[in-house]
Amino acid sequence: MAYDYQAVHVLDGTIGAVPGQRANHLAVHRATAIAVVLAAPGHGAEAAGILVADGAFEARFCGPGEWLVLSEVHAPETLVAELAIRLGAFAFVVDQSHGRVALTLSGPDAARILANGIAVDLHPEAFAVGRAATMLCNHLSVNLARTGIDRFDLVVMRSFAEALVADLKVMARSHDLSVDFATR
Amino acid sequence: MASLISCPHCGVRPKEEFSIRGDATPVRPAPMASDEAWNDYVHVRANPRGRIREHWQHVAGCRRWLVVERDNFTHEVFSVTDAAAARGGAR
Amino acid sequence: MTAYRLASGGLIDRSNTIGFTFDGANLSGHAGDTLASALLANDRLLVGRSFKYHRPRGIVTAGSAEPNALVTIGTGARRDPNTKATVAELYDGLAATSQNRWPSLAFDIGAVNDRLSRFLSAGFYYKTFMWPAAFWEKVYEPLIRRAAGLGRTDLPRDPDGYEKSWAHCDLLVVGSGPAGLAAALVAARSGLRVILVEQDFALGGALLSETTKLDGEAPYIFSRHAIDELHGHPGVTLLPRTTVFGWYDDNVFGAVERVQKHSATIDAARPVERLWRIVAKHAILATGAEERPLVFGGNDRPGVMMASAASTYANRFGVAAGRSVAIFTNGSSGYRTAADLSARGVEIAALIDSRTDASDRAPDGVRVVRGGGIVDTKGRQRVRAVIADRGGFEEMIACDAVAMSGGWSPVIHLACQRGGRPVWSQALQAFLAPEVGDGLVMAGAAAGHYRLSECLDDGARKASAIVEALGRPVAGFERPVVGEEVDPSFTALWHVPGARSKAFVDFQNDVHGKDLGLALREGFGHVEHAKRYTTSGMATDQGKLGNVNAIGILAAMRGVSPAEVGTTTFRPFYTPVSFGALAGSSRDEHAMPVRRSPLHGWAARHGAVFIDAGLWYRSSWFPKAGEKTWRESVDREVRTVREHAGLCDVSTLGKIEVFGPDAAEFLNRLYCNPVLKLPVGKARYGLMLREDGMVYDDGTVSRLGETHFLVTTTTAMAAGVLSHMEFAAQALWPELRVRFLSVSDQWAQMSIAGPKARTILQAVVEDDLSNAAFPFLAAREVRLKGSLKARLFRISFSGELAYELAVPAGYGEAVADALMRAGEPQGLCAYGVEALNVLRIEKGHVTHAELDGRVTPDDAGLGRMMGTSKPDFIGKRLSTRFGLTAADRAQLVGLKALEADKDMRAGAHLLKDGAKPSTVNDQGWVSSVCFSPTLGTHIALAFLKSGRERYGEKIIVWDRLRGVETVAEVCDPVFVDPENRRLMA
Ligand SMILES: [Zn+2]
């Protein structure tokens, strides 16, 4: 018997792709490695310092002493191992590559589309490029990161990914939006 | 009820992101404290009008427990602090 | 013909003719018309019947305060009842119907109520429908509901979409008249983020109907330039067709935008309405002022309208309200209307001024009756004449329209929605907004500055102050040169004496002057009492026109000032908002997100029937060909697990990883059973209590490392337990060095249960799974053949030899498929939560059916788990109180039905044999039931008083809902393998 397990993406068969590269685009990432870093109690500052100083990874704020680290180049176990080496006793690193789904919404109407479900002021002066936080999008909690003036990443619990994509399509109903898996 | 709460970790957020547990003033008694102390802590709550302290959790955000000091008549919010910081604990 | 379209003038597009229908009649208007202006242009004065007396009613206003001209627009599922014709933008194909009439508008049977009106006085409902009480539900209420009420709604599903959006700004300006535009210009030029909201479809407010020149031109020219400029500022959002309906805490405003309410064809890609939640650092209310009606006899006859409305229809829409218009005024505004109408060639029948000493000048040739008043109007479905009275001398004046002006009330509703009370201004004879802090200020006519120059100055001044408060340099605003303007001063006249017929105060709810007198005489003179007694101000218009007059009348009757009477409470919504807009996109699956297990696809491929469990869809059972009922499938699944093996999706359980040097100590305080000495690589059943000693949740605790644990929760309590743990860690014991994270979504988890479980699992797992190497309660990482890492727990809910295997979620389906293939020779089947439930009932395992918040560990037969020697844990202290240790508490038992053909239901109560059902005789309740294929009978888990001492007793299971009594035998709750031989195998 051959045991070569193939992983499926939670949105395989349910993404409801809207083809093309329209003015606004929602890309679902297939194989982003995602880790959660939890600072060891009393070592929040050290953990944050290491994450900031190390340019190799982009850490996104979730809450005090808690960050999401995303990587498009590492395998999940490599990402966890690399982070664990760098952070040592200052943090616990948990693989969440299968627990979360990363999406990128880009386009001139991106902030306006998000305002149909998100209460946070996304004006570039209020939520600048590089900022990230966890917030409510309609009924779902998502981690939102601004990666460009017209570009946002959303990270959501895997079991809610289908609902989030369905919501984003409705939020973008008045705007031109294409939806598909990201091509690497 | 405030429409917006300023989370000390996340910034201004709509009240929908939070869940409210209730009075933040009772302190959990020592294990062997009197029956009265435990009965008060578990079962007895004042229902004052005016300035109150409540435990709110930022469930859809940073998930931290916060102490919100507010006026339940005027709806003014005086302060929002981290519950652990309020207890002087480590984070 | 009386009302008609003027030959020229107005801001309508005469080259664009629009067809519409009213009660089936084909009519036409022009782009830029409202439904009301188009109806007037077609001389349709009669547009509705009143609420109580079914009196014929016409158009009274040209705006959102309209009490009478409420119509139903649209057909089928797109019917919008109670739409104000005065704000409804005319569009091609608009289909409007009148309301509150039967069988037709012109001939309405309900109008007999008007003849019976002496029996329909204020308080009529309260007095008449008092008794017999039994008549309320069957007779009175249906009768009232059919007779009363205005438009009717329909039940077909709303086919359109709605949207809810958040917006943020430095300054929100409500109203785009002169004050609002000046404020928006100053703020925009100063670089602020500005949102300008206008309820009309055209921006400009009063400037669209104003005739005073600005810079020598018609004022709408100024508004167009201003709007063009605002469009060019990147920080400015203009929202026409948008009504701000509420002001909420923290300067959050609710507004509804009518995105596609002005079109017969709906673009499905866009919402029809959008609900805005606007977070504003500052807000300026430039909402203008509302003209007050005069309360005179017959003031509700079609053809009687507000003087400002007559001006607006003439100036903005190019429509004359009549050929010969009588004007009744208590101030200068009536003269302005006289000038506006005269200038457009409309005859003024007379200008009746209640004041004797006014210095206003009427247009040449207009007869002015000073110190006079109207006491009655004549005509049937439209006004033909008025009876004017001056010093006791009556005179009939023929006319086909009446324009009335009773003075002005600033529109202050929004400013009073958060508890601030309006303040009476003796000078202005009107209520002004209270001081509510610097987050919201009034400007222009809304602040009592009525003249055009004042409005422009005030708007600019208020915006400048806000720019300064935000620490920015203020940009300049050069006010245009204002031509000859009118100061609309007036002398208050709450009601006109000598009324010869009903003088209405609240048109929509049919409240007239005498009703208020009756309310006062009967002890309901307080303004809040009078409102409810007479229903004045309780209609959909919330008394926008009538309230101030009602207050003035009450004040006059009580001999006090209106300040002393005060106002009723202002609350959102300023105008009605549709439920569709309030719900936004939260409909169907968008109202409650669907959660799917990582094994959903696997279950679906095996034919699972799914069931909602909270947000989750869980596989319930897996029917096979030939199985006709769910029971057949479930019985087969249970037997297969007991004889061979089964695979069940348990991914929905909550999973929380706990880290830190104090992790063990933290969990030791969280669970009632000891955790400290749990060895690495082992799992343990865990029970959490509430602080009051009742069971909160159960699950397993696995120690993956010295300072690393994994705990599971029930599916239902996953979110609650996480919050509970966070509270304990952050608010109770912040000194404990512990961190944790929900990892529920990372893992697909499957239970493999049954005597063949080990054989099947060993086929895919690299590690040795022999009983010695992987004993009961072992919990650790294993490697699957092909090198995928997984977590394996030897725990059992079914009572069989069982394992739970967790793999990263994306691999769940592939691993489940591999197990199904490996298990095929062993007879492995997929089983769902129904079979899981039967298996656990047979084994006497509890779920939240048992742990319902009233149950202690001892009640559930788990008292031995309590770590009583631990210094502290949540729930320890109150577990020892007397009531929780009493001997007659209901304890978990098993029940076996003794009558083969009778089942039992959860929720049934237990009675001693022969006892009558009563609270005193109640012996307990049934919590879970099933048919046990293993025992071949119906069994149950139940809570029975002192139950553990009563094994062998016959008991009655009393099901009141179905009227069924079943005799059952009390037994040990563990029906299967009480020695645990199977799970240790
Ligand atoms: Zn927060």
Asked whether the beta carbons of residue C764 and residue A3 sit closer than 8 angstroms, the reply is yes
A58–chain B nearest CA distance, Å: 18
How far is the CA of C978 from the CAs of C20, C803, C972, C983, C984, in angstroms? 80, 19, 9, 10, 12
Band of pLDDT at residue C50, cut at 50, 70 and 90: confident
Is the pLDDT at C149 greater than 90? The verdict is: no
Which structural domains are found in chain B, ordered by start? Answer: 4-86 (3.30.2270.10)
Which chains does A contact via 3+ CB–CB distances below 8 A? B, C
Instruction: Tell me the nearest-neighbour CA distance from C838 into chain B, angstroms.
Output: 35
Contact A136 B14 (CB under 8 A): yes
- Interatomic CA distance for residues C382 and C378, integer angstroms: 8
User: Ligand 1 centre and the CA of C166: distance in Å?
Assistant: 19
Question: Does the structure show a pLDDT above 50 at C879?
Answer: yes
CA dihedral sign of residues A54, A58, A62, A67: negative
Query: Is the distance from CB of C807 to CB of C790 less than 8 angstroms?
Result: yes
- In the numeric block, which tokens belong to residue C845? 């395992």
> What's the pLDDT at C51?
74
Distance CA C407, CA C289 (A): 10
Instruction: For C207-219, write each residue's pLDDT tens digit.
Output: 999 999 999 999 9
Alpha-carbon distance C342 to A160, whole Å?
Answer: 67
Question: Which among C733, C876, C881 has the least Cβ separation from residue B31?
Answer: C876
Nearest Cα of chain B lies from the Cα of A80 at a distance, in angstroms, of 22
- Alpha carbon distance A113, A29 (integer Å): 19
Are A66 and B11 an interchain contact pair (Cβ–Cβ within 8 Å)? no
For an interface test with A, give the residue of B5, B6, B7, B10 to mutate (most A CBs within 10 A): B10
The larger pLDDT score, comparing residue C152 to residue B85, is at: B85
In this prediction, residues C335-347 reach a mean pLDDT of 96
Q: State yes or no: pLDDT of C541 exceeds 90.
A: no
Measured CA to CA, the distance from residue B60 to residue C368 in angstroms comes to 68
d(CA B23, nearest CA chain C) in Å: 12
DSSP string, C316-344: TT-EES-SEEEEEESBTHHHHHHHHHHHT
Distance (Å, rounded) from C-alpha C495 to C-alpha C128? 29
Q: Which pLDDT band holds residue B61 (cuts at 50, 70, 90)?
A: very high
Please, what is the end-to-end C-alpha distance for chain B in angstroms? Answer: 29
d(CA A70, CA C830): 36
Phi, psi (degrees; rounded to nearest 5) at C300: -105, 5
Predicted local distance difference test score (pLDDT) of residue A1: 56
Instruction: Check if the beta carbon of residue C295 is closer than 8 Å to that of residue C553.
Output: yes
Q: How confident is the model at residue C540 (pLDDT cuts 50, 70, 90)?
A: confident
What tens digit of pLDDT does each residue of C815-836 get? 999 999 999 999 999 999 999 9
Please say if the pLDDT value at position A84 is more than 80: yes
Chain B contact partners (≥3 CB pairs within 8 A): A, C
Per-residue b or e along C81-103, where b marks 16 or more CB atoms closer than 10 Å to that residue's CB: bbbbbbbbbbbeebbbbbbbbee
Residue B8 Cα to ligand 1 middle (Å): 7
Cα–Cα nearest to C926, from C946, C906, C911: C906
| Residue C143 neighbours by CB distance under 10 Å | 12
State residue C536's pLDDT score: 84
Task: Say yes or no to pLDDT of C141 above 70.
Answer: no
Could C593 and A139 be called an inter-chain contact, meaning their C-beta atoms sit closer than 8 Å? yes
**Nearest residue to A52 (alpha-carbon basis) of A99, A9, A87, A88:** A87
Q: What is the mean pLDDT of chain C?
A: 93
Are A113 and A154 contacting, i.e. CB atoms less than 8 angstroms apart?
no
Determine the angle formed by the axes of helices C547-558 and C513-521, rounding to 10 degrees.
Answer: 50
Q: Cα separation of C831 and C500, whole Å?
A: 83
Q: What is the CATH number of domain A24-30+99-181?
A: 3.30.1360.120
The backbone torsions φ and ψ at residue C726, rounded to the nearest 5 degrees and listed phi first, read: -65, -40
Cis status, amide bond into C103, omega within 30 of 0: yes
Least confidently predicted of C148-157, C539-548, C710-719: C148-157
The residue among B63, B80, B81 with the most chain A CBs within 10 A of its CB, best to mutate, is: B63
Helices (H), C584-733: 600-605, 630-643, 663-670, 718-727
Q: What is the mean pLDDT of residues C161-177?
A: 97
- Region of A48 (left: φ > 0; alpha: ψ -120 to 50; beta: rest) is alpha
* Nearest one of C630, C598, C610 to C750, comparing CA atoms: C598
Q: Give the closest of C168, C660, C708 to A40, CB-based.
A: C660
What are the chain B neighbours of C277 within 8 Å (beta carbons)? 14
User: What pLDDT is recorded for position C926?
Assistant: 98
| C842: number of Cβ within 10 Å | 25
To the nearest whole Å, the CA of B32 is away from the closest chain A CA by 28
CB A98 within 8 A of CB A161: no
Residues C587-616, mean pLDDT to the nearest whole number: 92
Contact residues on chain C for A88, CB-CB shorter than 8 A: none
Determine the Cα–Cα distance for residues C367 and C365; give it in Å rounded to an integer.
6
Q: How far is the CA of B59 from the centre of ligand 1 (A)?
A: 8
**pLDDT digit string (tens) for C740-760?**
999 999 999 999 999 999 999
Residue to mutate among A38, A134, A139, with most B CBs inside 10 A, is A134
Q: Give the nearest partner residue to B83 out of C248, C252, C731, using CB atoms.
A: C731
What would the pLDDT profile of C766-787 be if each residue is shown by its tens digit? 999 999 999 999 999 999 999 8
Architecture of domain A33-95: 2-Layer Sandwich (3.30)
Q: Which of A6, A99, A123 sits opposite C743 (nearest CB)?
A: A99
Question: For position A124, what pLDDT does the model report?
Answer: 97
Q: What percentage of residues in chain C have a pLDDT greater than 70?
A: 95
To the nearest whole Å, the CA of C661 is away from the closest chain A CA by 9
Chain B residues close to C726, C-beta within 8 Å: 57, 63-65
Q: β-strand C789-793 against C779-783: which pairing, if any? A: antiparallel
In chain A, residues under CATH classification 3.30.1360.120 are: 24-30+99-181
In three-state secondary structure terms, C632 is: helix
CA C481 to chain centre: 47
CA–centroid distance, residue C163 to ligand 1 (Å): 26
Name the H helices within C387-451. Answer: none
Closest CA to C686 of C704, C703, C674, C669: C674
pLDDT at A101: 98
CB–CB of C903/C897 below 8 Å?
A: yes
Taking phi first (over 0 means left), then psi (-120 to 50 degrees means alpha), and beta for anything else, what does residue C786 get? left
C479-488 confidence digits (pLDDT tens): 999 999 988 9
Q: Please tell me the predicted confidence (pLDDT) of residue C133.
A: 61
Whether the link from the prior residue into C132 is cis, omega within 30° of 0, is yes
The CA distance from C605 to C912, in Å, is 49
Scanning C238-297 for CB atoms below 8 A from A yields: 269-271, 277, 279
State the CB neighbour count (10 A cutoff) for residue C976: 18
Rounded (to 5) percent helix, strand, coil in chain A: 25, 35, 40
Ligand 1 mean position, distance from CA B9 (Å)? 5
Choose, out of A121, A131, A136, the residue to mutate when testing the contact with B (most B CBs < 10 Å).
A136
Torsion of CA C831, C833, C836, C842, to 10 degrees: -130
> Residue C893 corresponds to which tokens in the numbers above?
């038992």
pLDDT at C84: 94
Question: Is residue C150 very low, low, confident or very high in pLDDT (cuts 50, 70, 90)?
Answer: low
3-state secondary structure of C804: strand
Nearest to A3 among C740, C809, C818 (CB): C818
Helix (H, G, I), strand (E, B) or coil at C814: helix
Closest by Cβ to A133, choosing from B10, B16, B59: B10
Amino acid at A163: A
C872 touches chain B (CB under 8 A): yes
In this complex, which of B65, B74, B87 lies closest to C726 when CB atoms are compared? B65
Q: Do C872 and B31 touch (CB under 8 A)?
A: yes
The pLDDT score that the predictor gives to residue C659 is 98
Predicted pLDDT of residue B91: 42
Predicted pLDDT of residue C49: 82
Calculate mean pLDDT across residues C599-628. Answer: 94
**CATH 3.30.70 residue window(s) in chain A:** 33-95
Which pLDDT band holds residue C381 (cuts at 50, 70, 90)?
confident
Q: How far is it, in rounded angstroms, from Cα C907 to Cα C499?
A: 68
Contact between residue C534 and residue C515 where contact means Cβ atoms under 8 Å apart? yes
Contact at CB, C734 and B1, closer than 8 angstroms = no
pLDDT: which is higher, C961 or C892: C892
What are the tokens at C129? 């429908």
- Is pLDDT of A163 > 60? yes
Q: Looking at CA atoms only, how far is residue A123 from chain B in angstroms? A: 14
Average pLDDT over residues C378-404: 95
**Statement: residue C519 has pLDDT above 50:** yes
Q: pLDDT-derived band of residue C416, with 50, 70 and 90 as boundaries?
A: very high
Position C826 scores a pLDDT of 97
Q: What percent of chain C has pLDDT over 90?
A: 81
Q: How many percent of chain A have pLDDT more than 90? A: 91
Top pLDDT among C533 and C213 is at C213
- Dihedral (C-alpha) C242, C247, C252, C254: value to the nearest 10 degrees? -30
In this predicted structure, the answer to whether residue C621 has a pLDDT above a threshold of 80 is: yes
Residue A144 CA, chain-centre distance (Å), reads 7
Q: What's the confidence (pLDDT) of residue B90?
A: 43
Task: Confirm whether the ipTM is greater than 0.90.
Answer: yes
